[in-house]
Structure 1
Amino acid sequence: MRERQHSTATTRWRRSRSFGAAALTAATLALGSAGTFSAGVAHAASSGNVIFALPPAVVPNYIFPIMSGTYYSNVNLYQFQALMYRPLYWFGQGTQPSFNESLSLANAPVYTNGGKTVTISMKKYAWGDGKPVTSEDVIFFMQMLKAETSIWPVYVPGEFPDNVVSMSAPNASTVVFHLDKAYSQTWFLYNELSQITPLPQHAWDKESAAGAVGNYTATPAGAKAVFNYITKQAQNPSAYATNPMWAVVDGPFKLKTFDSTTGTTVFVPNAKYSGPVKASYSSLTLEPFTTDTAEFNALRSGAVTYGYTPPQDSSQIPVIASQGYTSSPWIGWSINYFPMNFNNPTVGSIFRQLYFRQAFQELVNQPVDIKKALYGYGYPTYGPVPIQPKNNLSTPQEANNPYPYNPAKSVALLRAHGWSVQPGGTTTCAKPGSAMGDCGTGITKGEKMVFNLQYNNGFTYVSQFMQQMKSDLAKYDGIQLNLTTAPFNTVLANAVPCKGKTCTWQMENWGQGWSYGPDYYPTGESIFETGSNINEGSYSNPVNDANINATHVVSSTSALYKYENYLALQLPDVWQPDPDFQISEISNKLSGVSQSSLLNFTPEFWKLHS
């Protein structure tokens, strides 16, 4: 999942010790645990209301779980939608990213017919209107998804839902999928079935607000019409809290108020929630902030129950503790990068050159950025699999930077490939062509290394990363970056795969890369396989595609290791430091908090003490 948002200095989460269901042959992650917080002394916000600080410049802005990449963010997925519409399968047990059957709406899937038939047994859950959650609600989601794969961010042609060739609901509690072939059961559960969110067919299966509920999604045309109707409702956020359709929820909370201008969101407990624990406090507020500085000011004034200290203010953690908060870093199951647009009609030819990406990467000084901009609250990204929390899925190669900071080597690479490097000036192509020592296919004589890079303006650390990188690239390589800033949602909306003359963005940095979810097993198809709807820069490499596809059918880690070691060297994006999701500050009056590395928090378990 793009994921994508951090709360302090970051956004994406993941941690685990076991990576798989007991019934499956699963890989095992040896990860640490941040623990569960208990009540102590002093401090809380208004009585009965828990105030959770949102990441800076990030607000919930889409309620319908079938959404395009424009809205595909951690806040929308896990801190907004999932509180109302629970996914079929829940992942994360405490701080660990393993399959959590106890919080899932269905029992673990059963595979038969040589692995080509998947049978899912639904548990007894109810919607907010008292109707049961049934197998038809799963089919309803699947029918719309199959009709609208072009907008689904993690869609890859031939994969989910294409690989489900037929499906049925033989009774109200059973779903049967027939697959095109047998897959790794770990991968299919963690990366494919994990995408399903049952939706209320009995209330939403209609083609207009005035129309009657029917079985329209049974045909592709009908599914598109229903999808378009629901999408139109979702595009009116000012009515999220008043439109009756959004009150039909199966999650632990329902909306009380939603400010579509500011993003301020107030939830109240769903009295009909069928899960193991119901919220015991009166309301949950998601509080937006324009910058991490604004959030920290609110934290210091006691205006939030659950907030964060920005890395640049980490020296103030003892002061915050004295005001009645417990501090704990929240580490995500994530990697951090920003894409170059390989299809940009002006500079895409340069971005497609591996030597250029290597030279560029060699001027990204991750250890220094972690020390100076993140104050030690982060870790490097050297490839497509997270190295933190500690796990057995990342290889030793990923723990060692293959392209360490090296200005001299960076300059030499460009000169060896036909560029007239002008340190402090503007480097140009002196030797166009595609032969060895030339600039590369599509690059013209005299073409300049001048690029546009837009980045998220909500995080101080991102600005520090970008300013230092801009300085080094100009000083040593003569690469000029034109930096601009924009809110997180704007950067996210711009960074989409595209083609043709209108494909004009060059580099976009939302600051938080990718949080693995709903592709919890980090095989990379969602973000690095050719044709994925969320492969922002349109990176394409047939060797990489073959390596990814091998991970889908091989349950051992050998295929994963081969994939990640290869891609780490290919630089599909620019790797950058991954901050801790946030340095959480939790009121000592709030207990039961478990910081899931998957970002899918469970506030129904929290207890607010007076």
Structure 2
Amino acid sequence: MTHVSGKRLSVALAVAAVLATACTGGGAAPKDAAGGYSAQPKQTGTPKDGGTATVALTPGLSPNYIYPYPPAAANGTVVARGLLWRSLYRPSGEGDQIADAELSLAEPPAYSPDRKTVTIKMKDYKWSNGSPVTADDVVFSMALLKAALAESPANWSFYTPGQFPDGVTAEAAVPDTLTLRLETAYNPSYLLSMLTLLYVMPSAEWNIARTGGPHLDYKQPKHAKAIYKYLTKESESQSTFASNPLWKVVNGPYLLKSFDSTTGSFSLTPNPAYSGPGESRLDQVDFKAFTSAAAVLNQFKAGNLTVGTLDSSFVSQIAALKAKGYNVYGAPAPARLDSLVINFKNTVNNFDKIITQRYARQALQRLIDQQGYITSRGVYNGAGSPNYSTAGHGSPYPPAFGDRPPYPYDPAAAEKLLTDNGWKVTPNGSTTCERPGTGPGQCGAGIPRGQTISFTLASANAPAFVGARDVAFASAAKKLGIEVKIVTKSLNYMYANYGNTYAPATKNEWAMQDYGPLYLAAGYPSSNTVLNTEGSFNLGSYQNAAIDKLINASTFGSDGKSLSAEVSSLAEDLPVLFLPTPHTLVVWKNTLSGPQSSFNALISFLYTPELWYFHDASGARP
């Protein structure tokens, strides 16, 4: 539900049956760890109206912004995103679907034969003031997104220059029909994934550049820019989030009742005018901010939380939580990628020269003991699954190698890669280049004789498994004479400073970084914007012309198999070092229920409390 602007997060149409049933390329299905969690509880109980659900926010990611598209400079996390304003198509959270058809604001898009004209029929949704949600509102939202990008390409983390929304003209000849005209045809699955990120905002109420000012023609870029600047400025005032009339006009299932600007906690009440699925039986939903996973666990134990996630370091507590009346369900999130991000522009100790060599990346990948990390009580505690590709688990676009990864854990093979390419390996010492040059069996261009392998790994201070897996990697590297210097940083610091696309001045502060998960679009996990040369979220400046062509094919082509080709080639080239995928462990009181899909979506941090209800066979309501 929360989203880090311009930096981090994020989320298929029918595909060939052979792809839908193929291996995921990630490894084994979830296995139960202490207490068991792989079986999802069924929807139960007779719904009762009323009650307050208390939800734990992800520790360390408290919201501080309310406008759906905060500028990159704000380093903003959005409050109640998706619950106040819905995107045109609601992300599904399922590995084989891009959008949740039932919860979307529009019917599925229809394409012209050349895929350059897209017609979208709006559903009968209303704003909280009773006005209909129209195609004009989508045109307005597109205009403001373009205004944000005109100010800075970093203002939207899903943007690649020259791609969506560039070259896309939105028109609304009639209120209930949106027409998108595309200069370049997109793969329908890719375009749909972009439209799940297009939040629809109220054009009739927000088309102003000052409080009480005249209504402006937002189709003129200068006016769209003025409106954007006004709305983002208003969004800086956290103390007025719940009182500013601007933020009371919503199309989602909830209204913001209160916001604590000190902690980031907030409360929601049902939007009486909401016309989408769900009866909003709950009276209120309170989202509580936390600074640590341990604090969340303590509140679960005290019975003060209704819904939240459990850090895998506390997997041994599952049985105790079940005994206290909680359900626990866990699985790998669809299209989740955990990795060590490589900075190909870091020049300290010639790291850029070394890491450009594919054999070096292969050797480092072979030092990552994925199965060992998963089973270790100090790392994943059994709550994880192997992963060696950008597709993630359950994707209908798996890599060609299936469950046989190209570079599995093998320290001996890693050592051989180094010695075969000119390095003298000194275990627990300093491995050095002894055969410089660009020929066979030599270290590679720009690597001098006597060069050592030493670099800095920036490691996020939360969750706990991030630091633990980085220490394990550094320990394995030391055994091959490679020095990995771990520097622990807060997530917010890393978000603001460790990305070459938006913070190039700090490129030499980090050679690798581990900030936890990256979520690609569930259902269509393209690496566009993330690993293509011009991608605005290409944090480590990875460049590969052949990969760029594959990403272009999956973005603009019509062949459904093109994304599998992209996924396979990325896994072989190693733009990042792949880490196991932790299981997201979702916890909720067993007196709360709703459709299983609404709790499964929590694996991807997609919240639909309008579908939840309390039930109580014993006569007491939580």
Task: Indicate whether the TM-score tops 0.5.
Answer: yes
Distance 1:507 1:49, change over 3 A: farther
Contact 1:27 1:557 (8 Å CA) reproduced: no
In structure 2, the partner of 1:65 is: 68
Distance 1:292 1:257, change over 3 A: same
Contact 1:62 1:235 (8 Å CA) reproduced: yes
2:327 counterpart of 1:322:
no
In structure 2, the partner of 1:107 is: 107
Contact 2:457 2:514 (8 Å CA) reproduced: no
In structure 2, the partner of 1:130 is: 130
2:272 counterpart of 1:279:
no
In structure 2, what is the Cα distance between the partners aligned to 1:262 and 1:497?
A: 30
Q: Of 459, 463, 470, which aligns to 1:466?
A: 470
Distance 1:93 1:445, change over 3 A: closer
How many residues get paired? 584
Q: Of 376, 382, 391, which aligns to 1:385?
A: 391
In structure 1, what is the Cα distance between the partners aligned to 2:344 and 2:532?
A: 14
1:237-386 map, 5 Å: 237-333=238-334, 334-346=336-348, 347-372=351-376, 373-386=379-392
Contact 2:332 2:385 (8 Å CA) reproduced: no
2:181 counterpart of 1:175:
no
Look up the SS of the partner of 2:58 in the other structure: strand
Contact 2:383 2:582 (8 Å CA) reproduced: yes
* Residue 413 of structure 1, CA deviation: 2.4
1:49-198 map, 5 Å: 49-67=52-70, 76=77, 80-92=80-92, 97-112=97-112, 114-149=114-149, 150=153, 151-164=155-168, 166-189=169-192, 191-198=193-200
Distance 1:560 1:400, change over 3 A: same
Contact 2:341 2:514 (8 Å CA) reproduced: no
* Residue 90 of structure 1, CA deviation: 1.7
In structure 2, what is the Cα distance between the partners aligned to 1:418 and 1:238?
A: 61
In structure 1, the partner of 2:427 is: 423
* Residue 161 of structure 1, CA deviation: 0.9
Q: Of 591, 594, 600, which aligns to 1:595?
A: 600
2:579 counterpart of 1:573:
no
- The aligned amino acid for 1:539 is Y
* Residue 548 of structure 1, CA deviation: 1.5
In structure 2, what is the Cα distance between the partners aligned to 1:607 and 1:546?
A: 48
In structure 1, what is the Cα distance between the partners aligned to 2:16 and 2:211?
A: 46
* Residue 428 of structure 1, CA deviation: 4.1
Look up the SS of the partner of 1:114 in the other structure: coil
Contact 1:430 1:445 (8 Å CA) reproduced: yes
In structure 2, what is the Cα distance between the partners aligned to 1:95 and 1:527?
A: 19
In structure 1, the partner of 2:483 is: 480
In structure 2, what is the Cα distance between the partners aligned to 1:489 and 1:162?
A: 30
Look up the SS of the partner of 1:81 in the other structure: coil
- The aligned amino acid for 1:515 is Y
- CA offsets 1:114-141 (integer angstroms, 9 cap, x no match): 3211111212222223332221211111
In structure 1, what is the Cα distance between the partners aligned to 2:274 and 2:497?
A: 37
- CA offsets 1:142-192 (integer angstroms, 9 cap, x no match): 11222333021111122211241x332112222211112333323322x23
2:402 counterpart of 1:402:
no
- The aligned amino acid for 1:283 is Q
Look up the SS of the partner of 1:567 in the other structure: helix
Q: TM-score, normalised by structure 2?
A: 0.86
Contact 2:270 2:283 (8 Å CA) reproduced: yes
- The aligned amino acid for 2:473 is M
- The aligned amino acid for 2:600 is Q
* Residue 50 of structure 1, CA deviation: 0.7
Look up the SS of the partner of 1:397 in the other structure: coil
In structure 1, the partner of 2:219 is: 218
- The aligned amino acid for 2:65 is Y
In structure 1, the partner of 2:35 is: none
Contact 1:13 1:330 (8 Å CA) reproduced: no
* Residue 560 of structure 1, CA deviation: 2.1
- The aligned amino acid for 1:195 is L
In structure 2, what is the Cα distance between the partners aligned to 1:95 and 1:393?
A: 10
Look up the SS of the partner of 1:286 in the other structure: strand
Contact 1:56 1:292 (8 Å CA) reproduced: yes
What percent of counterpart residues are identical? 32
In structure 1, what is the Cα distance between the partners aligned to 2:586 and 2:446?
A: 48
Distance 1:96 1:549, change over 3 A: closer
Q: Of 8, 20, 23, which aligns to 2:13?
A: 20
In structure 2, the partner of 1:200 is: 202
Contact 1:345 1:501 (8 Å CA) reproduced: no
* Residue 72 of structure 1, CA deviation: 8.4
Distance 1:255 1:93, change over 3 A: same
Distance 1:34 1:92, change over 3 A: farther
In structure 1, what is the Cα distance between the partners aligned to 2:423 and 2:4?
A: 35
- CA offsets 1:515-560 (integer angstroms, 9 cap, x no match): 223x641222131112111121121111011111222344444322
Look up the SS of the partner of 2:330 in the other structure: strand
Q: For structure 1, which segment, 126-135 or 539-548, has the greater mean C-alpha deviation from structure 2 after superposition?
A: 126-135
- CA offsets 1:414-471 (integer angstroms, 9 cap, x no match): 3333444332233444455444444333445554422222222122211210111111
In structure 1, the partner of 2:586 is: 584
Structure 2 unaligned runs (5+)? 30-37, 616-620
In structure 2, the partner of 1:8 is: none
CA RMSD between the two structures:
3.1
* Residue 561 of structure 1, CA deviation: 2.3
In structure 2, the partner of 1:232 is: 233
Contact 1:26 1:555 (8 Å CA) reproduced: no
* Residue 367 of structure 1, CA deviation: 0.7
In structure 1, what is the Cα distance between the partners aligned to 2:449 and 2:311?
A: 46
2:43 counterpart of 1:38:
yes
- The aligned amino acid for 2:365 is Q
Look up the SS of the partner of 1:284 in the other structure: strand
Contact 2:391 2:398 (8 Å CA) reproduced: yes
